[in-house]
Structure 1
Amino acid sequence: MTTPSTPAPYQQHPGVPGYVSPVPLRRATLLDALASEWTKIRSVRSTIWTLGVMVVLVVGFGALIALALRSVDLPEGESPVSLGFVGVLLGIIPVITLGVMTIASEYGTGMIRTTLTACPSRARVLAAKGIVFFLLTFAITLVATALVSAAISGILGGSTAGSVWLGATVGVSAYVALLGLLALGVGSLVRHSAGAITIMIGVVLLPLVMALFMMSEGLRDVQQFLLEYSIPSQLAIFYGTPMGEDGPTGWESLGLMGALVALVLGLAFLVQHKRDV
């Protein structure tokens, strides 16, 4: 009588002689980590609430402002879609909140231990979280900015140049998603939701607020720098209404934010391997 051989796709468990695993044993990959993070981010209520609030703020405020200004002529050369700026600026808050919570909440609840047990590679876990968060946020923000731009154009009429339309949708969406990715990196470093969210709100608002109170002539250059490189000003560039004349133009602000995100995430990767869970 011959002994049946172990099926090819399966392997015996190394620690239990005679036991054959019903699940194929293979090395985990980044795709597995991506699938895990996608399951987590889409199954928690905070994702639906934060991104839902972001869509409501972006579309709602843009449409309300357009309705309020139906009888007002816009300044010469200003595109109607620039009225969506206020809604996007408010919509940043839910995005950075979700970015922080994507990783910091796991440290707060202890869920990170389970995550790292399933996927011991900390770099892979952080990379998977970043990729899933960026793609999801970019897609939802793109839908919201396209809707509000179409709504504003329909309410106020007038033509919008293709470059401005592209900036107000794709450009703004990419910038907001990168900003959320920056929040994720800060959350990984701080490991505390409230603290990381407070830091990110300061990053978004503090430079502009400081600039508004710099009335001294000796601080004029500093004031101008803060105005031009503040996040609200960087967003305004995509609408063709920057707050300064010498700051970055066109899509350069995306490169600046991308470099900052790369720096923070690189630091987070290094710190991940030097800390206990």
Structure 2
Amino acid sequence: MSTHQPPMPQAPAATDWQAAPGGPYPGYTSPIPVVRTHLGHALASEWTKIKSVRSTMWTLGVFLLLVVGIGLLTGAVVEANSDSESLSGENMLSFGFFGLLLGSMCIMTLGVLTTASEYSTGMIRTTATACPSRGRVLAAKSIVFFTVAFVTTLASSGFVAMLHSSMLGNAGADSPTGGQWLKATVGVSLYIALLGLLSLLIGSIIRHSAGAITIMIGAVLAPLVIALFMAASSMQKLQEWLFEYSIPSQLGAFYDNGLTGSGPSGWDPLWIMLGLTAVVYAGAYALLEKRDV
């Protein structure tokens, strides 16, 4: 008597995810679409980071409070205690200098935290795993941070400039020229954004938030403090150089009110900061390629 044999199981049909012979991984291809990553992906990642962390909200919030608050207070005091004769020939936009000088500390702090905080939390390992190209990561951080710092500074400095123009114009001050408007808004915003980018690069080099912030604050304040104690006549030239090329003096040059009558003027401080940032960027990139995360 014959017995019924059950049908033998057949091999499953080839599916779409099985690779054709000769592929990069013979026998398997991921069902997830694979695309070649580029700078745009790194930019999207860094933008997500910078808008998600609380440090961005706090530092930029304090920056806006300082720039607008001090600008409003300064404008009100000058308007109440000046007349058209005392304001004649004065660049009314220059009173925005004080708020921006203090506010630059916030931009520098955010710049340091953009890079150094990832080393303290260990997030840099995840970043390096997702994007092994370290140069691309540094470029993406730099572009995103510079854009955020520039736009924020431009909006706040432009608002304060319009505020002062309205308040002091009513007091009889001369109207600023187009060149003065450009330097007091776009020029000073580019300078502060570059100063923040320099802080970002120092944070990448030092890899320690507190240390990098201390270095940047020292770079702003130390030249002035050191120069004040140089009383000897033999050190007069060095004292003048420290005054002329200190960051507060360069920042004041955008308002034509540097600490001294000589030194950088016009757009010179912007080119100085651009060259310094480029040199530090090259050093940060070289160290990033050589060191472990």
TM-score bracket, shorter-length normalisation: over 0.9
Q: How many residues align?
A: 272
Is residue 78 of structure 1 aligned with residue 90 of structure 2?
yes
Gaps of 5+ in 1: none
Q: What do the CA deviations read for 1:216-249 (whole angstroms, capped 9, x no partner)?
A: 2221111110111000000100001122233122
Q: What do the CA deviations read for 1:117-169 (whole angstroms, capped 9, x no partner)?
A: 00001111011000100011000100000011111111111311111111110
Gaps of 5+ in 2: 1-11
CA distance in 1: counterparts of 2:28 and 2:209, whole angstroms? 47
CA distance in 2: counterparts of 1:194 and 1:203, whole angstroms? 14
Match of 2:248 in 1: 232
Match of 2:75 in 1: 66
1:121-270 correspondence to structure 2 within 5 Å: 121-157=133-169, 158=173, 159-270=175-286
**C-alpha contact 1:167 1:238 (8 A) present in aligned 2:** yes
Q: Which has the larger radius of gyration?
A: 2
Correspondent of 2:31 among 14, 17, 21: 21
Q: Percent identity?
A: 53
Query: Offset of 1:78 from its aligned partner?
Result: 1.8
CA distance in 2: counterparts of 1:172 and 1:164, whole angstroms? 11
Q: Quickly say closer, same or farther: Cα 1:137–1:7, change in 2 above 3 A.
A: farther
The CA RMSD measured in Å over matched residues stands at 2.0
CA distance in 2: counterparts of 1:207 and 1:252, whole angstroms? 19
**C-alpha contact 1:78 1:240 (8 A) present in aligned 2:** no
Correspondent of 1:45 among 38, 46, 54: 54
1:266-277 correspondence to structure 2 within 5 Å: 266-277=282-293
Scaled by the length of structure 1, what TM-score is found? Answer: 0.93
Query: Offset of 1:5 from its aligned partner?
Result: 4.2
CA distance in 1: counterparts of 2:183 and 2:138, whole angstroms? 29
In terms of mean alpha carbon deviation, does 204-213 or 52-61 score higher? 204-213
**C-alpha contact 1:100 1:197 (8 A) present in aligned 2:** yes
Query: Offset of 1:215 from its aligned partner?
Result: 2.1
Match of 1:36 in 2: 45
**C-alpha contact 2:256 2:265 (8 A) present in aligned 1:** no
SS at structure 1 position matched to 2:290 = coil
**C-alpha contact 1:78 1:241 (8 A) present in aligned 2:** no
Amino acid at match of 2:251: L
In terms of mean alpha carbon deviation, does 215-224 or 136-145 score higher? 215-224
Query: Offset of 1:45 from its aligned partner?
Result: 1.1
Match of 2:7 in 1: none
CA distance in 2: counterparts of 1:18 and 1:230, whole angstroms? 61
Query: Offset of 1:27 from its aligned partner?
Result: 1.9
**C-alpha contact 2:131 2:137 (8 A) present in aligned 1:** yes
Query: Offset of 1:273 from its aligned partner?
Result: 1.4
Structure 1 segments (4+ residues) deviating >6 Å: none
